[in-house]
Structure 1
């Protein structure tokens, strides 16, 4: 059986779910994508994820998702852990993308609870176990009931953890904090717990979590990374301070569906053309104005792509 101790020790801190930038004609802008990853690495981000919720995976073809993973893997070049999102509402697509992540040499794959289908717990167990059994790459399950309409129960997760050695953690975008506590109680304190809820990034560290996958880190990667660094260094006061400093930005970036506000913000920063593929679109002009005013409060240099 493969030993996952080493990779589990490296998967820590702020893993940024990098957005997928598009050109005005809606093609993927790979040049800006590379720049976004470099921006993350230059600002202390601890890991990179792509083609998760923030990367608009349901707006990408399978071939495009593979191309994004390949470009990210090449750009990161082993400098930080790479954890691409490989889940889909379709089981065979999930299998294909997870195997592709393994072929590329990714450090782990993040596999979302299937959305739209609303599978029961037995079906979820079979889905994740089949995927896990088909590869050796470590798997982090992504539970986001607000977008999938299905919650992966703690009992199901604990059973998967017991039966699948390569299921090493979970990203919980779950506002039920009691549920999140039960995850570590049932799966063990060495199970990797990541926050996917911005306002719970700090609290999850306090109960034994190892980090976060926060869309806000697209905009202020340094500050999000510093919060985690402070916590791991035992500087609780600084970690708390940064948690509250980030709150206003966290709030405004989730007043519309992610990643629309994040893309609007990155457009204002000159990092990308602020383009989403339908059926997603930019926030209202009123919210964009609020985003701009919030960025100014944080001292972010604004320009336009």
Structure 2
């Protein structure tokens, strides 16, 4: 996909699909395929896997590749595909990004390395080396709350200027001034995706390309509708959806993602809500809050409140 074409097409609600596990901790491939089909049928414009919601740091390299390949096979060109290929390890990031290109992904989402806390020059060298190794469009994944380092706008601008295949950024960044300056400095055609649920609508208003929202795992129809309403110029509907989604957005992040989302999907009968250690299950009180929120949204019948 040519980079200008990518900038036209890689837009909308991209669901960062969870990785379902069986009771014994293996990847549940059947449930995974069903989740992707449900997402596409529900109107999601794109699919991402092995991002934060997909528990990539709990997967082996072989498992990450299998999840990516299975997703690509299942999507079968119906929507665009942007798997997460980043790691705290540079060589692993290179290998996974090259694999994404090999299987024909539409883009690769590369996270700012977590735990290592690289300085800005190291971030530039890491991303430039990865970008130079492939022709696939690259989406930077900036998530300072998880990685303990923020990619500064000046670093992002250098990368956008020096690497033509770095086409955008997923900003899981609550600093709204920062994300405004991303578009000012990297260009209005730089693809800006919200990774913060309460900023999905505000980022559209400043020229964002869409969002990569964990909430889409549970409520894909309304999350996709938010983007569609914006494209249709229906600001009132966007505002309504923004506030309708807020209770679900809030409850899904009262514990570490994807724990609450997997609990919700389990209640909805979509997956066995298993997590791999070191992640753990939300408290019983939070599970009840998730259930009550799903009932209020019509995702579960009222009688589920007593179960």
TM-score normalised according to structure 2 size: 0.97
* Residue 7 of structure 1: aligned partner: 6
* Residue 283 of structure 1: aligned partner: 282
| 2-structure distance, mates of 1:234, 1:274 | 38
| 2-structure distance, mates of 1:76, 1:236 | 31
* Residue 198 of structure 2: aligned partner: 199
Q: CA deviation at 1:191?
A: 0.2
Q: CA deviation at 1:301?
A: 3.0
Are residues 1:228 and 2:241 paired? no
| 1-structure distance, mates of 2:20, 2:265 | 10
TM-score normalised according to structure 1 size: 0.98
| 2-structure distance, mates of 1:244, 1:60 | 35
Q: CA deviation at 1:186?
A: 0.1
Are residues 1:162 and 2:156 paired? no
* Residue 215 of structure 2: aligned partner: 216
Are residues 1:146 and 2:135 paired? no
Unaligned runs of 5+ residues in structure 2 are: none
* Residue 120 of structure 1: aligned partner: 119
What RMSD in Å do the two structures reach over aligned CA positions?
0.9
Measured against aligned partners, the alpha-carbon deviations of 1:172-197 in whole angstroms (never above 9, x if no partner) come to: 00001000000000000000000000
* Residue 177 of structure 1: aligned partner: 176
Q: Secondary structure at the match of 1:246?
A: helix
Q: CA deviation at 1:3?
A: 3.4
Unaligned runs of 5+ residues in structure 1 are: none
Task: Show structure 1 runs of 4+ deviating over 2 A.
Answer: none
Q: CA deviation at 1:6?
A: 1.3
| 2-structure distance, mates of 1:41, 1:262 | 18
Describe how 1:102-121 pairs up with structure 2 within 5 A: 102-121=101-120
Are residues 1:66 and 2:62 paired? no
| 1-structure distance, mates of 2:52, 2:111 | 9
Q: Secondary structure at the match of 2:81?
A: coil
Measured against aligned partners, the alpha-carbon deviations of 1:100-133 in whole angstroms (never above 9, x if no partner) come to: 0000000000000000000000000000000000
Q: Secondary structure at the match of 2:140?
A: strand
* Residue 270 of structure 2: aligned partner: 271
Q: Secondary structure at the match of 1:100?
A: helix
| 2-structure distance, mates of 1:296, 1:283 | 18
* Residue 189 of structure 2: aligned partner: 190
Q: Secondary structure at the match of 1:296?
A: helix
Measured against aligned partners, the alpha-carbon deviations of 1:58-93 in whole angstroms (never above 9, x if no partner) come to: 000000000000000000000000000000000000
Q: CA deviation at 1:267?
A: 0.3
* Residue 17 of structure 1: aligned partner: 16
| 2-structure distance, mates of 1:281, 1:21 | 14
| 1-structure distance, mates of 2:110, 2:148 | 16
* Residue 260 of structure 1: aligned partner: 259
| 2-structure distance, mates of 1:51, 1:260 | 15
